[in-house]
A and B are shown apart, each in its own frame.
Chain A
Amino acid sequence: MSLTQLPLLEQFVLLQAALVLFLSFGLLSQTRLLAAIHAFAWQGALIAAVTLTVAIAGHAHHLYFSALLTLALKAMLIPWMLHRLVRRLALERHTETLSHPALVSMAAVALVIFSYWVVVPIVAEELTFTRNIVAVSLAVVLIGLLMLVARQQAVAQVLGFMSMENGLFLAAVSATAGMPLVVELGVAFDVLVAMVLFGVFFFQIRDSIDSLDVDRLNRLTETEEETP
């Protein structure tokens, strides 16, 4: 079945999912921290919009709540916390140069292809919609992972971590019409606590190495002669 034959609402969800993926690429290559945080906030808002669309399409009432939760948490609270931390750490003007920007983008493209390859076995039985949405959310998760590897700055790594969570939310909402409420609340709580702890760690890292460049955290290795 081709994409144009899908119901309009499903096409709309796919469009939003594609935008989420696009923003993942944006996050990956954005070197200015504040701009990256804004991209992340837009990604969160899009996830909330997907949730709302699915809620309207499926008349699933608990998803209205879930959409609100996502909007509050992913599009407002976490970006705001990050914003505040960046200001308190005086990193507003911080830019980071990726060592191999083209290579990293190519790797991200490869991850998208890989995600589609992973879901190939599901093709035969499942609908075009589910296959696409699972592939896109897996790609968002993996690009988040790539961001953790490629970026050396702690705040950027946290953005990668949080965009992984966005990919998971996308999968949960669009492929399965939302997790049970108790699980969703638990996950949201964990994400929030994680964000608070990340904030604590930014200061601890800065106190210990005078910078947030986590590549300089390299004291613990296997080959060291004298472990301190």
Chain B
Amino acid sequence: MSALILILLLPLAGALALAFVSSVRWAGWINLGVAALTLAAALWLGWTVAAHEVVAGLHFRVDAFNVYLVVLTAFVGLTTAIFSRPYMRHVCANARISPPGVRIYHSMYQTFMLTMLVALTTDNLGVLWVAVEGATLATVLLVSLYRTPEAVEAAWKYFILCGVGIALALFGTVLTYFAAQQVLADPTEGLTWSVLYADAAALDPTVMRIAFVFLLVGYGTKVGLVPMHQWLPDAHSEGPTPMSAVLSGLLLNVALYAVVRLKMLVDGSLAATDTPHLAGALLMGFGLISFLVAGLFLHRQRDIKRMFSYSSIEHMGLMTFAFGLGGPLATFGALLHMLVHSLTKSAIFITVGHAAHIAGTQSIDRIRGLIRTQPAVGWSLLLGVVAIAGFPPFGVFASEFLLLTATIQTQPWLSVALLGGLAVACAGLFRHVHPMVYGTPPEGQQPVEANMLPVMIHLGLVLWLGLAIPALLAGWLDRATGLIAGSHLL
């Protein structure tokens, strides 16, 4: 319990303190320190959950499923903070932001971490909604941080689209609460997920069916499911790069986490009706469409960060599809994919941030010859793309292989679509990345100050997960699989 309080208090304290630090030097270090302490607290929480199965307190509840995401969130939060320090100094040196901008940036970074951790650890569907909406509010000022017309436009789009989406999710939450009040002995507990889950079979299926559509569209907007994905490429390409890394690596995961939790409720409620797999089928449909459409859009991109944000949509689609497929194998694969995608994608965005500083632009056509100018950045980008495209021996290959196996077992025809989509996405990525890495560098292109440690740690972990998943982690994921799918894989 104390670890739980600590992981929420630390980012809160950090956010408040950083609101008053306008020296980019100090703010970077404080941000890093707070992130490191949060990771320590998250590991402590993980250890407690491993010992006691569930840690629960007023409105909060942590089990095997969310604790692994808590640790992942805190970890990516720390490595991105390491990257953000030199990045923001570079940005300040080029006078792209003012001292108030520095305060907003660091304070909102920690506020964002807070909302992510609250959303993950809460047991109350209402608090979950408040936290996910809070995440939008915390990041929207960061998207417009550079104040260019494009940045303001991206932020406005992000604000309105996510605000609308999340409002629909609140309507779904109200309907769920309404269904719960008809059956629960204590109606005030009608938003507590664990209580609802225990009584899921009694919830009125007609109301829950309508509620789930709203919830899926609402949280699906934040997952970036096509056709509600329009905000995602804009927000990723116009904001500061550390923000893109945490948006892709964390926010999308947390939104998907919310969808999966709600699917568990709806599955319980619909089990006895004539459409028991309605929620799963909806997830599969949305997931597959997002996966295929994003793969095609990858080919047309001219901005490096936009391209990788489409790759994020593609992978989120794949995970949504897998959770919709259900069953232990697909669920285990999806959980593993969440983990490796977060690590790989944040590593890629970090590298892209350095690459954009080297070339002085985000335009794919003008980023050339990274390996010759700065081999560390060039190789990291190449390896990151190899990993995200799903080549062995990286972890993404392992999880995609599991997902493909699960699809062949249950829906063999859909595996054709999956394989086709993977090939299209892979071609799209390499088509753009090859000249950026190998081409001839323009005259006078200089290396920049870059800290490649976070990238190496992330890619190292992804490689390790591809070669051999540690027994501890496999057991951890297996317990989460048992919670979601009802039976264990291992």
- Select the stretch in A79-87, A90-98, A104-112, A201-209 that faces chain B: A201-209
B-contact 0/1 string along A126-157, CB 8 Å cutoff: 00001000100110010011001000001001
Do B150 and A186 touch across chains, with their CB atoms under 8 A apart? Answer: no
Given contacts A157-B160, A168-B171, A227-B363, contact A200 B126 (CB under 8 A): no
Q: Is the interface of B mostly helix, strand, loop or mixed?
A: helix
Do A220 and B159 touch across chains, with their CB atoms under 8 A apart? Answer: no
- Select the stretch in A18-26, A29-37, A188-196 that faces chain B: A188-196
Do B152 and A204 touch across chains, with their CB atoms under 8 A apart? Answer: yes
Do B210 and A161 touch across chains, with their CB atoms under 8 A apart? Answer: no
In angstroms, Cα B170 to Cα A137, docked, is 12
Do A164 and B167 touch across chains, with their CB atoms under 8 A apart? Answer: yes
Contact of B126 among A179, A198, A218, A224 (CB under 8 A): A179
Is A7 part of the binding interface, using a Cβ–Cβ cutoff of 8 Å? no
Is B206 part of the binding interface, using a Cβ–Cβ cutoff of 8 Å? yes
Contact of A189 among B130, B168, B188, B300 (CB under 8 A): B130
In angstroms, Cα B237 to Cα A224, docked, is 15
Do B137 and A186 touch across chains, with their CB atoms under 8 A apart? Answer: no
Chain B neighbourhood of A157, CB < 8 A? 160
Contact of A208 among B152, B157, B167, B175 (CB under 8 A): B152
Is B140 part of the binding interface, using a Cβ–Cβ cutoff of 8 Å? yes
Do A226 and B164 touch across chains, with their CB atoms under 8 A apart? Answer: no
Chain B neighbourhood of A119, CB < 8 A? 210
Query: How near does chain B come to A143, taking the closest CB pair, in angstroms?
Result: 13
Is B156 part of the binding interface, using a Cβ–Cβ cutoff of 8 Å? yes
Is B199 part of the binding interface, using a Cβ–Cβ cutoff of 8 Å? no
Interface residue tally on A, bucketed by range = 35 or more
Do A171 and B160 touch across chains, with their CB atoms under 8 A apart? Answer: no
In angstroms, Cα B190 to Cα A179, docked, is 9
Q: For B118, give the chain A residue with the smallest CB separation.
A: A186
Given contacts A176-B174, A180-B126, A186-B130, contact A220 B154 (CB under 8 A): yes
Do B137 and A219 touch across chains, with their CB atoms under 8 A apart? Answer: no
Do A145 and B152 touch across chains, with their CB atoms under 8 A apart? Answer: no
Q: For A206, give the chain B residue with the smallest CB separation.
A: B152
Is B112 part of the binding interface, using a Cβ–Cβ cutoff of 8 Å? no
Q: For B303, give the chain A residue with the smallest CB separation.
A: A227
Chain B neighbourhood of A226, CB < 8 A? 302, 363
Chain B neighbourhood of A222, CB < 8 A? 297, 300
Chain A neighbourhood of B167, CB < 8 A? 141, 144, 161, 164-165, 168
Is B101 part of the binding interface, using a Cβ–Cβ cutoff of 8 Å? no
Q: Is the interface of A mostly helix, strand, loop or mixed?
A: helix
In angstroms, Cα B119 to Cα A186, docked, is 13
Is A187 part of the binding interface, using a Cβ–Cβ cutoff of 8 Å? yes
Chain B neighbourhood of A182, CB < 8 A? 59, 124, 126-127
Given contacts A180-B124, A183-B124, A190-B133, contact A219 B149 (CB under 8 A): yes
A-contact 0/1 string along B134-147, CB 8 Å cutoff: 10010011001001
In angstroms, Cα B137 to Cα A204, docked, is 16
Given contacts A176-B181, A182-B126, contact A228 B152 (CB under 8 A): no
Q: For A198, give the chain B residue with the smallest CB separation.
A: B159
Contact of B150 among A121, A144, A175, A219 (CB under 8 A): A219
A–B complex contacts, Cβ < 8 Å, 11 sampled: A154-B156, A161-B164, A177-B187, A179-B174, A183-B124, A183-B126, A197-B140, A201-B156, A217-B156, A219-B153, A226-B363
- Nearest 3 interchain pairs by C-beta: A183-B126, A186-B130, A217-B153
Known interface pairs A121-B206, A154-B156, A222-B300; 12 further A-B residue pairs with C-beta atoms within 8 A, sorted by A's residue number: A176-B177, A180-B188, A183-B127, A186-B127, A187-B129, A207-B152, A217-B152, A218-B153, A220-B150, A220-B154, A220-B238, A227-B306
